[in-house]
Amino acid sequence: MKRTAWLLAAATLSACSTLPQATSTDLYQCDWGSGQIDLCRYSSNDARVQALMSEMSLDEKIGQMTQSVWHRRSVSPEIIRDRRIGSIIHTQGPTPGPTALDWIDTFDKFQRQAMQTRLGIPLLIGVDAVHGQNTFEGAVIFPHNIGMAATRNLDLIEQAARITAIEVAGTGFNWTFSPCIAMPQHEHWGRVYEGFSEDMDLTTAAVIASIRGHQGDDLSDDSTVAATAKHYIADGGTDGGIEGGNATVSEALLREYYLPPYQAAVQHGIASIMVGFNSVNQINMHQHKYLVTDVLKNELGFDGVVMTDWNGGIRFGEPHTVINAGADLAMQPGNHYQFMAELKASVEQGVVAQSRIDDAVRRILKLKFALGLFRNPFGKRQLSEQVGADAHRALARQAVRESLVLLKSANQALPLKADDRLAVVGVHGHNTGLQSGGWSINWQGTRENYRGATSIYDGVKTVNPDTEFAPEGCYPDMPAEKVVVVVGEDPYAEMKGDSDQLELRDSHKDLIRQCKALDKQVIVVLISGRVLLIKDDLTHSDAFVAAWLPGSEGAGVADFLFGTDGFTPTGKSPYAWPAKFEHLPLDQHAPHALFPYGHGLQDY
């Protein structure tokens, strides 16, 4: 629709609403859309949804069920308009620019094209903001969920999600694919850190807090975004901890353990649920009609949007197998044409019922109305200045210090003092990328410092300016008497993190032993996305701290180490720690654990 036609269409609705004055770069719109249907006539969103659907062609409906991916440049604003695609995602790859307003400008171009289609249906714009707006360099990145659960502070989890929602909205998005409900059962799995805990009750409570933070009391509020519970279901319980593998589970275990957090998410109004790459009892979840349609939708009463994971609309077979199983929206990176053509053919051949298409589209449109996108589809520019704000960083710093778990404390090594002769040892100690893990700036994380973040060394040096940084380790005649040895895993995500190597690498073990051999007091800070085999390393330390993946605010680790402002340790492990490799996978209540579930010294 050309600009003049847009204005004429909007003018016909002036009796129903007041037209706001647009900026020079925005278009006018009435309160209820810019398409050819007078939505102002209807008093409820359900009626507006039905009015739109009564006018939609099959192509337009399938467009709403399709999500394309911006980062591979597989979709242009014009393609959005011409193919009536209803959703896009940005994740890995080229960014829209260095500032939050650059990102909003980019996504607004897509939104304008969507609003110029015949029916003027706005876009859902999604992002994997799983621990803060972690795709935008300069946003606040919180500890990964494993660390947030270690805080046991549900108010803090809710506040972190609230800040994430503001920074997501302030960079042009209206939808996040978080929180992750997985309750990982295998330390081998490369996504352990995405789940809150192996404990069902803690996971359920944390998920409820996260939903409240992201979605608030009203999804149409500018500072809220739609949240997504993932990955339905039992993705953390696959045999051997293999990403996308098969979970062999009984019906009883499924209902007693894996289902309750999703039931709670549904009861607390989660907007969308993403199905997993994994299978349950040899049936892939993208094609598991019993668990998706019969249990999730019919039994639990979920009335939101069920979406696929990456390329899920065709990854496991023809689109009809996924749509008939109950998925409403398919994430199709660079191959949306194939998905749309094959799904249309299936409908025309009667393989997919028109009622299944209509149910999916109704759910998608209902979410768009709930988000207020027909009233205000564009990026929330007024929130862009809050991205990376000092107040947001202060809360993330609090989350870091509360998430750290003190596993060992001896010889009065902690708390550190401002006049101690100190050194921070190891590359991880002064690298914000390494301390943040996967899903930080990039899908697989980054091994470099990124904008706005502070390293652990930065934080320690602020309190003790004479602190030395020794990336290669301790050495003879080193002035420091106490050394903070920062060791751990390098960033990984998804299948790249699946591993049987669950000990510190030899070079990191050597850092600890070398410093102890030089008669230093050794405080080990472990950066990891899961519990590791550390029994031998503990013997060479005076204090040992599980720091998980703390994110952008390394100064929070310094707060913990120095006991800043009277702080004392509060973190409790969300997993049991294995003593031997043969004990893996380690049950939460195993009597032979090195440290039990919930362990954490509460005093130095």
Active site residues: 309, 494
Beta bridge partners of 601: none
Half-sphere exposure of 22 (CA within 13 A, CB side): 18
Q: In sequence order, which residues have a C-beta less than 8 Å from that of residue 351 and are 6 or more positions away?
A: 320, 324
Q: Is 139 helix (H, G, I), strand (E, B) or coil?
A: coil
Contacts from 235-238 at CB under 8 Å and sequence distance 24+?
A: 235/182, 235/191, 235/276, 235/277, 235/278, 235/285, 236/182, 236/183, 236/184, 236/185, 236/186, 236/189, 236/191, 236/192, 236/195, 237/183, 237/184, 237/185, 237/186, 238/186, 238/189, 238/278
The first and second tokens of residue 533, run together, are 């085999």
The first and second tokens of residue 569, run together, are 């340790």
Task: Specify whether the backbone of 116 is left (phi greater than 0), alpha (psi in -120 to 50) or beta.
Answer: alpha
Length of the chain: 604
CB 28 within 8 A of CB 2: no
Beta bridge partners of 440: 442
Kindly report the backbone phi and psi dihedral angles of residue 230, in degrees, each rounded to the nearest multiple of 5, phi listed first: -150, 160
The secondary structure element, H or E, covering residue 330 is strand 329-331
What is the rounded distance in angstroms from the CA atom of residue 273 to the CA atom of residue 65? 14
What is the rounded distance in angstroms from the CA atom of residue 97 to the CA atom of residue 135? 12
Q: Give how far Cα 123 sits from Cα of 70, 117, 263, 334, Å.
A: 13, 11, 28, 17
Q: Find tokens 């934080």 and name the residue.
A: 459
- Alpha helix locations (H) across 118-235? 145-151, 154-169, 200-215
Q: Is 559 helix (H, G, I), strand (E, B) or coil?
A: helix
| Residue 17 burial (10 A CB sphere; 0-12, 13-18, 19+) | middle
What is the rounded distance in angstroms from the CA atom of residue 338 to the CA atom of residue 317? 12
Kindly report the backbone phi and psi dihedral angles of residue 412, in degrees, each rounded to the nearest multiple of 5, phi listed first: 55, 35
Concatenating the DSSP letter of every residue in 263-303 gives: HHHHHTT-SEEEEPSSEETTEEGGG-HIIIIIIIIIIS---
DSSP 246: E
Task: Specify whether the backbone of 566 is left (phi greater than 0), alpha (psi in -120 to 50) or beta.
Answer: left
